[in-house]
Amino acid sequence: MSARREIISWPLHAGAPAPEAVRGGDFLFVSGLTATDPQSGMRMPGTTASETRQILTNLKQLLERAGSSFDKIVKVNVLLHSMLEAPNMNDVYVQFFPDPPPARTVCGARLPDGMKVMIECTALA
Amino acid sequence: MSEALVRTAIAPKNPLLNASRVGNLPHVPGIRVGDYIFLSGMVPVDPQTGERSHGPIAEQVRITLSNMRHMLESAGSSLERVVRVHVVLADIAHMAEMDRVYREFFPVEPPARMVWSMQLRFGNGCEIECVALAA
Amino acid sequence: MLPVDPETGERRHGTLTSEAHVIFGNLKLLLESAGSSLDRLVQVHALIYDSIEYDVLNRVYRQYVASGPPARTVWAVQIEAGFKVQIDAVAAA
């Protein structure tokens, strides 16, 4: 029997090329999230800290809607526009994740639309 | 008591797309384990010749995703079963062009996705990897 | 996984080669203590600070995944704490 696959939620802006999350089998695969206003879907560029906070706040809502939670996250990938900003991201990150936190990889790369932070994760559905 | 999951390597029916074998590299094109298939990153390779294919970014994305379709189908899966995609671009300015082609391959209920830009080897304009549900 | 000393947690900066050996040593220990092994790796993201070191990475990498290597994508990105290499992995339990 093949594992179930379903879209969990769509971002607000019309014609987006990817949903926020997809459930496949036992896991929830969350797309790379950048800082957006949850009401309008508009991008909210700011500092590394403010973008991290916005992303993780939105992630919390998304996980709850999907019947999951921060406790069920198994793996996080954080992309930063510059690794010099890692401590600023971390200061906010630790406020959201339980102890012990999930597995994580952080690296520096060029992000779309000049955003400073992008976070994706995989969680138990 | 749960049994240990069996893990097996997958390979494309078209051997020219088996970059690991062709390049004698320490990876396989993909691994199937439990309900999932994890693919190695794929770059634009002409499926007729096995040569790198560098043209406009739209063409590179088209070739890469079409090869990805072949890889998944060789393993008994499909693009519709993909749950997560990572798209890497050498130049972040190519995002809109990439997107235009990407939608053709995932027109309905697309997978979760993350797109970013980093240094790519051999002048490749894109590299794409994914996780899919097995058959 | 980053190149840190498994006993002291000290950072072991070095060449890409030396850092990769530390990482794989740690990865082996970690997987085996969880009842898994390097043979059960499913997917790896090999982060390197510059794609020019691709062949150097491969020379070390091969030594640890000789039989039945996993799926892999190499990411040339900025890595934490100025390390030259990092290995991100999913393994079957």
Candidates C51, C53, A109; CA nearest to B123 is C51
The CA distance from B130 to B81, in Å, is: 10
CATH topology of domain C16-91: 60s Ribosomal Protein L30; Chain: A; (3.30.1330)
- The ranges assigned to domains in chain C are 16-91
Q: What is the pLDDT of residue A85?
A: 96
Which residues partner with A23 through β-bridges? A6, A28
Q: Enumerate residues 83 to 122 of chain A having a beta carbon within 8 A of any beta carbon in chain C.
A: 83, 86, 105-109
Q: pLDDT tens-digit profile of C39-86?
A: 999 999 999 999 999 999 999 999 999 888 999 999 999 999 999 999
The whole-number average pLDDT for the span A22-48 is 93
Residue stretches of chain B with pLDDT short of 50? 1
Q: What is the pLDDT of residue A2?
A: 65
**B5 in C contact zone (CB under 8 Å):** yes
CATH of the domain at A41: 3.30.1330.40
Instruction: Tell whether the model's pLDDT for residue A15 goes beyond 90.
Output: no
Q: What is the pLDDT of residue B1?
A: 47
Q: What is the pLDDT of residue A109?
A: 95
Share of chain A above pLDDT 90, in %: 78
**A18 in C contact zone (CB under 8 Å):** no
Q: What is the pLDDT of residue A10?
A: 72
For domain B7-83+98-133, the CATH superfamily is RutC-like (3.30.1330.40)
Instruction: Tell whether the model's pLDDT for residue A32 goes beyond 70.
Output: yes
Cβ-count burial A98-118 (b if 16+ within 10 Å, e if not): eeeebbebbbbbbbbeebbbb
- Our count of domains for chain A comes to 1
The tokens of B106 are what?
């995932």
Interface contact C78-A105, CB threshold 8 A: no
Selected residue of A77, A80, A107 to mutate for chain C interface (largest C Cβ count, 10 A): A107
Chain B residues with beta carbon closer than 8 angstroms to that of C90: 38
For residue A38, how far is the Cα from the chain centroid?
A: 13
CA dihedral A31→B34→B40→B132, nearest 10 degrees, is -40
The CB density around residue B108, as the number of other CB atoms within 10 Å, is: 6
Instruction: Tell whether the model's pLDDT for residue A18 goes beyond 60.
Output: yes
> Containing domain of residue A40, as a range?
5-124
**B53 against A39, higher pLDDT:** B53
Q: In chain A, whose CA is at the least distance from the CA of B81?
A: A5
